[in-house]
Amino acid sequence: MLVDTARPTVEREAVPRFGFLRNWDTAIIVAVVISILVASTAVTGFASPRNAGFLLIDMIPILLLALPMTLIILTGEIDLSVASIAGFISCTFGALWNAGLPLEAIIPVCILLGAISGAVNGILVSVVGLPSLAVTIGTLALYRGLAFVVLGDQAVTSFPRAITTALQAKIGSTGIPVWIIPVVILAIVFGIVLHFTGFGRSLFAIGYSEEAARFAGITVARTKFWLFIVSGAVAALVGIWWTLRYGSARGDNATGLELSVIAAVLLGGVSIFGGKGNLPGVIAGVVLLAILRNALQLASVPEDTLSMLTGGLLIAAVVAPNAITWSRSLSRKPPSP
């Protein structure tokens, strides 16, 4: 909703920005390479297999959440509730574990519950027709609240060590965590769906012009509904991952994670107005943020500086495209083709 009016329709149509976005992707990938090179030489301990393993493992939740978030932002919507769903599922996981259920039963229940949580967002956005920003600010509070309703201020930590260490298993001596493989496969699936199927193209169409998409026969409401369900299910996976990785189910698990996810997606060149962006760019954005955080943590930069950095990158990612368009329109009156 906010997005809709803030959209400077006239300027956007006048200045073709596809070329610029291609440059943006290249810029982000170059930034990833440069930050790896700089960190490897300047930060001691960065370029070790051990650290690479940590970096990749810490990247998993944000990478997972960024996949559905990319699709949702491409359609011009947003999902601020993902971290709260992850926290809610984490607590549910802990409560079910305390109740003595086996993992094979808990995990499907948790994923289903995550999908239902996403469906609530989806119904409110696509059936009732409410702005996703307002809806997911509401469910951000609601699901975080439910997390505390489920477990209170207690934590469940009685998970067997075997499971928590299995999550950190590495492939031989490479330092690459085993669990990055299914995540990469999932990312490839999302990439194929987004860039090589009609469904994926319909997302761009919806984000570019919802009305035009509707005239083209795209079922806009149903498409958005499914995206929120997928987002909820993936958030549930993150909740399960978080619980087992840190061996603790708590109400405040994954708090504030939505900021990093949205920052990574926008940094990856997805337009907050919808309709423009691609998954390789987003993955580069996720990797860039992860490398910066990891390198600065190794250089013992305090946590609050890191969150300032994330906030700053978020603003830079939305301000930069407009600032560049603006400066171009200043330098030459008729917009260049």
Partner 1 sequence: MTTLALQRQPSLAWLGTLTRSREFSVFLALAILVAATVAVNPRFIGAQSTKDLLLNSSILVILGVGQAIVIVTKNVDLSVGSVLGLTAFATGKIFIAMPDLPVIAMLAIGVGIGTLLGAVNGALIAVAKVPSLVVTLGTLYIFRGVDFAWAQGQQISPSNLPETFLALGSGALMGLPYLALIALAVVIAFGLYLRNFRSGREFYAVGSDVLAARLYGIGVGRKIFTAFAISGALAGLAGVIYAAKYGNLDATAGQGLELNVVAAAVVGGVAIAGGVGTVYGAAIGAILLTTITSALPVLGVSPFWQRAMIGALILASIALDRYLALRTERRLRGHDKHAG
Q: Which residues bind partner 1 (CB under 8 A)?
A: 1-3, 5-6, 8, 11, 78, 124, 128-131, 133-135, 137-146, 148-149, 152-153, 259, 262-263, 266, 272-273, 302, 304-305, 307-308, 310-312, 314-315, 318-319, 322-323, 326
Smallest distance from partner 1 to CB 314, Å: 4
Distance of alpha carbon 246 from its chain centroid, rounded?
20
- What are the beta bridge partners of residue 156? 249
Smallest distance from partner 1 to CB 324, Å: 11
Using the minimum distance from each CB to partner 1, give the nearer residue, 36 or 309.
Answer: 309
Return d(Cα 255, Cα 232) in angstroms, integer.
Answer: 16
Return d(Cα 207, Cα 75) in angstroms, integer.
Answer: 4
Using the minimum distance from each CB to partner 1, give the nearer residue, 164 or 252.
Answer: 252
Q: Do residues 187 and 63 make contact, with C-beta atoms less than 8 angstroms apart?
A: yes
Q: What is the DSSP string of 78-109?
A: --TTHHHHHHHHHHHHHHHHHTT--HHHHHHH
Using the minimum distance from each CB to partner 1, give the nearer residue, 129 or 337.
Answer: 129
Place of tokens 């409110």: 124
Smallest distance from partner 1 to CB 49, Å: 32
Distance of alpha carbon 310 from its chain centroid, rounded?
13
Count of CB atoms situated within 10 Å of the CB of 138: 16
Smallest distance from partner 1 to CB 40, Å: 27
Q: What is the CA radius of gyration of the chain?
A: 20
Smallest distance from partner 1 to CB 13, Å: 14
Using the minimum distance from each CB to partner 1, give the nearer residue, 173 or 331.
Answer: 331
Smallest distance from partner 1 to CB 26, Å: 22
The residues, ordered by sequence, that sit 6+ positions from 178 with a Cβ below 8 Å of its Cβ are 169, 170, 171
Smallest distance from partner 1 to CB 84, Å: 9
Using the minimum distance from each CB to partner 1, give the nearer residue, 10 or 99.
Answer: 10
**Helix count and strand count (H, E) for the chain:** 15, 0
Token pair recorded at residue 111? 């994923």
Return d(Cα 200, Cα 69) in angstroms, integer.
Answer: 14
Place of tokens 């299995």: 166
- Name residue 55's amino acid: L
In 3D, which of 50, 46, 23, 55 has the Cα closest to residue 286?
Answer: 55
Using the minimum distance from each CB to partner 1, give the nearer residue, 254 or 263.
Answer: 263
Return d(Cα 44, Cα 299) in angstroms, integer.
Answer: 8
Smallest distance from partner 1 to CB 173, Å: 38
Using the minimum distance from each CB to partner 1, give the nearer residue, 129 or 198.
Answer: 129
Using the minimum distance from each CB to partner 1, give the nearer residue, 57 or 113.
Answer: 113
Smallest distance from partner 1 to CB 177, Å: 28
Using the minimum distance from each CB to partner 1, give the nearer residue, 128 or 330.
Answer: 128
Token pair recorded at residue 123? 């119904």
